[in-house]
A and B are shown apart, each in its own frame.
Chain A
Amino acid sequence: MDTAESKKEEADYKRLHSFPLIRHTDMPEEMRVETMELCVTACEKFATNNESAAKMIKESMDKKFGSSWHVVIGEGFGFEITHEVKNLLYMFFGGSLAVCVWKCS
């Protein structure tokens, strides 16, 4: 019973927490929406490979908004970065992933 319940809870949790949640950003509205959508797409596409997802995000961002973007995707990490103002997005996705995208040349 317990396992079933916990499974159900977990499913619930996954379902409820699947949406992207922006934790911190200083991007302008349009850019933020675009970046967020890109992150969601990448994470869904490479659900099992964070490296590929990060690569995809970075390359797309470089194309769209100029070079020197950095992307970190992971379930647990601490970081201290310097970024260009108006070019940072830190968001959670899928209940367990943290994505940090910033620009700094």
Chain B
Amino acid sequence: MPVRHKAGTVKSKQGSTSQSKAPAAKGPKAAIKKKDDEDGTEMGDGADEWLQGKTLVKPPDQLDLTEAELKEEFTRILTANNPHAPQNIVRYSFKERAYKTISSVDQLAVHFVLEGNLLHKDSDEARRQRARQGLQEEIIVETNAEETEEEISETPVDGAEDAGETEEGGAEERPDSVEVKAGKKEQKLTNQFNFSERASQTLNNPLRERECQTEPPPRANFSATANQWEIYDAYVEELQRQEKNKEKQKATSKKDDEKVKKKTMQVETQSDDISKVSKAAKIIERMVNQNTFDDIAQDFKYFEDASDEFREQEGTLLPLWKFQYDKAKRLSVTALCWNKVYKDLFAVGLGSYDFTKQGRGMLLYHSLKNSTFPEYIYPTPSGIMCLDIHDQQTHLVAVGFYDGCVAVYNLKEKSLEPVYKSTAKSGKHTDPVWQVKWQKDDMDNNHNFFSVSSDGRVVSWTLVKNELVYTDVIRLSVGGAVSDGLEAMQIPTTACGTCFDFHKQIDYMFLIGTEEGKIHKCSKAYSSQFLETYDAHNMAVDAVKWNHCHPKVFISCSSDWTVKIWDHTIKNPMFTFDLNAAVGDVAWSPYSSTVFAAVTTDGKVHVFDLSVNKYEAICQQAVVAKKKTKLTHIEFNPLYPIIIVGDDRGYVTSLKLSPNLRRKPKEKKGQEVPKGPEVEVAKMEKLLSLLREPDISPQN
């Protein structure tokens, strides 16, 4: 039996274990499945793998049971009987005086006993303890006891361990633990049902040490002795020096010439280093420029546009050097003039035609030999409006300013100031000076020049020693020639002169263009009378020029878009050309009586040869880089077949005329050169005679 029982027990054990295992295995599985369902697809096969690993482990001595054996059921009934309690206890009964079996056996079995020291708060013992520990603690104990009880009752499951701990803690020393607990609980009451604690810690910026050392400020030692004689000596010395200075000043003020000499000496000594090499530097500069612009120099000298042979009449302009100066960029070119002796040198006057933007001006001398930098630079306080280089004394240049002054610069002087300048006392103009022109020296061999201004005066200026002496030659008036003796009665309304030109042969005769568009032929001899008045233009006359060869012919241009050619003996123009833009300037060519060129504000240069085409320009070419740039002035070089044009941005461009534009001299070289001027006159005369006859015939 016992063996059997044993086996049974074993069996039953086995069975129970296997049985218990199976549900255990199933349990988590089901739970996991449930969880899976809840969590969605979070858990996968991983859970099953974990389970399999668990089930596969078998003890080595496990019995192998058949299916039937496994299914065999063992029923066990739990009873209140203690199986270990003896069933057959016999005791002597004194009452009956016999041995008797005791029917009621004590079935109680004690497995574990632990004596606790929890007290009920209402018990006597608890009261006694409280009385011993004092009132405050009592309250805390009371409240906390309540809390703890609540706590335990609230969290019976997850608080089980804690409860055990508290019980154990309590077993050690009841009041302290309560206190500790009280401390804990007072801090925070968290949500017991859904609470997750979070904490984060920010990174503390690491500290770093940095240091630097500065150099101490520099120091120096100084020592001296101060006593009366030292001080006295110092004062005496100082006084002596002051006296010397005074004497010097007196001496210099007494002798002006000496002072000037000294000054120039000083200047010379100051600029000694540069002046020594200045000539060499200039040569080098020109060499460098010659190398840099070698192709332009070659073009200037040798290039002849071959395509001209295939164009019957028309010609072209080849751009050569472009002259500019950085400090004159904002100014516009208001005057151009070639030097008659040094034919590569020309003067450029810079100012502004916009009367709202008047300011400084500049006088520059450029040379074809050095296109990058001016030869001479004279900054002026007022804008330059016109200039003229003296024909023989080419170091003298007369300049007219916007403020009405006229001045004469001398290139031989080193100073940047003019050698002569008109002042308000010495009859300066009250309006801009529009043109200046050198005249032949007068009877005393003094240089003199004329100027014309918007104030209606034409003034002759004579250079006498240190001053400019002025003489009013003519006053312009709107009413034309004030010849009828009633001039005193008339209200003098002045006309504004804008340009003039002197006849090449007839010394006294000159032309004046006015702002009203009229041109007056005047004589130096009559200050109040015009020889002739031409109703030339509808707007201001910008330029008027006598022909270089033919003595009767002059040309005029105006902002009314037209260029007109006149015979001064006839009141009507011989030719009229409309150029479709305001004409800034016009110039006769020096080599042919029939060639002239004009510049317009749309940036074009128009070259005409009347002997080739009486109606249209034989060359019409835009020469500016930017569209809005206006051309202001044009000049023919007296020797070379080039022209220079100035624009309102301060640039001066040199252009070479293609062979078609200067055909004459080439064609008739062999025969006609010796009597060049006459041929030119004849050529022009021929043209004019063609026109005159139809012109005159209606008059007649």
Chain A residues at the B interface, C-beta cutoff of 8 Å = 16-17, 21, 23-24, 26, 74-85, 88, 90, 92, 95-98, 100, 102, 104
Contacts and interface: CB of A to CB of B under 8 A. Distances in A.
B221 A80 contact: yes
Contact of B220 (A23, A77, A78, A88): A88
Given A21-B234, A88-B220, A104-B219, A96 B228 contact: yes
20 contacts: A16-B235, A16-B239, A21-B234, A23-B224, A74-B226, A75-B227, A76-B226, A76-B227, A77-B227, A79-B223, A80-B221, A83-B221, A83-B222, A84-B220, A85-B217, A92-B231, A96-B228, A96-B231, A97-B231, A100-B226
Contact of A21 (B219, B220, B238): B238
B670 interface: no
5 closest A-B pairs by beta carbon, nearest first, are: A98-B226, A80-B223, A76-B227, A78-B225, A17-B235
Contacts of A90: 222, 224
Nearest to B218: A85
Given A16-B239, A78-B224, A79-B224, A23 B234 contact: yes
A23 B230 CA distance: 10
B342 interface: no
B296 to A, nearest CB: 52
Contacts of A97: 231
Tell me if A's interface is mostly helix, strand, loop or mixed: strand
B239 to A, nearest CB: 6
Contacts of B226: 74-79, 92, 98, 100
B221 to A, nearest CB: 5
Given A84-B217, A85-B218, A95 B223 contact: no
A76 B228 contact: yes
B231 A98 contact: yes
B224 A82 contact: no
Contacts of B234: 21, 23, 92
B226 to A, nearest CB: 3
A81 B629 CA distance: 70
Contact of B221 (A78, A82, A92, A96): A82
A90 B223 CA distance: 10
Contacts of A84: 217-220
Contacts of A95: 231-232, 235
Contacts of A81: 221-223
Interface string B238-259: 1100000000000000000000
A88 B222 contact: yes
Contacts of A78: 223-226
Task: Report the contact-size class of chain B (Cβ under 8 Å from the partner).
Answer: 10 to 19
A21 B218 CA distance: 26
Given A77-B225, A92-B235, 19 more contacts: A21-B235, A74-B226, A75-B228, A75-B231, A76-B228, A78-B225, A79-B226, A81-B221, A82-B219, A82-B221, A83-B220, A84-B219, A90-B222, A95-B235, A97-B231, A98-B226, A98-B230, A100-B224, A102-B222
Interface string B132-143: 000000000000
Contacts of A100: 224, 226
A85 B224 contact: no
A81 B228 CA distance: 20
Contacts of A76: 226-228
Contacts of B227: 75-77
A83 B224 contact: no
Contacts of B219: 82-85, 104
Interface in B452-498: none
Interface string B253-273: 000000000000000000000
Contacts of B231: 75, 92, 95-98
Contacts of A16: 235, 239
A95 B228 CA distance: 8
Contacts of B238: 21
A81 B235 CA distance: 24
Interface string B333-365: 000000000000000000000000000000000
A86 to B, nearest CB: 9
A104 B220 CA distance: 10
A34 to B, nearest CB: 20
Contact of A24 (B217, B218, B222, B228): B222
Contacts of B232: 17, 95
A90 B235 CA distance: 14
B648 to A, nearest CB: 46
Nearest to B238: A21
Contacts of B218: 84-85
Nearest to A73: B226
B343 to A, nearest CB: 54
A79 B222 CA distance: 8
A77 B232 CA distance: 15
Given A83-B219, A84-B217, A104-B219, A24 B235 contact: no
Contacts of B220: 26, 82-85, 88
A61 to B, nearest CB: 16
Contacts of A85: 217-220
B480 to A, nearest CB: 67
Interface string B196-240: 000000000000000000000111111111111011101100110
B67 to A, nearest CB: 108
A66 to B, nearest CB: 11
A78 B234 CA distance: 16
B186 to A, nearest CB: 59
Contacts of A82: 219-221
A100 B225 CA distance: 11
Which of A76, A88, A95, A97 has its CB near the most chain B CB atoms (within 10 A)?
A76
B238 to A, nearest CB: 5
A32 to B, nearest CB: 15
A81 B409 CA distance: 60
A75 B234 CA distance: 14
Contacts of A26: 220
B240 to A, nearest CB: 11
A90 B226 CA distance: 10
Contacts of B228: 75-76, 96
A46 B443 CA distance: 77
A21 B542 CA distance: 67
Nearest to A87: B217
Interface string B513-531: 0000000000000000000
Contacts of A21: 234-235, 238
A74 to B, nearest CB: 7
- Residue among B219, B223, B230, B232 with most chain A CB within 10 A: B219
Nearest to A81: B222
A80 to B, nearest CB: 4
A85 B215 CA distance: 13
A78 B232 CA distance: 16
Contacts of B222: 24, 80-81, 83, 88, 90, 102
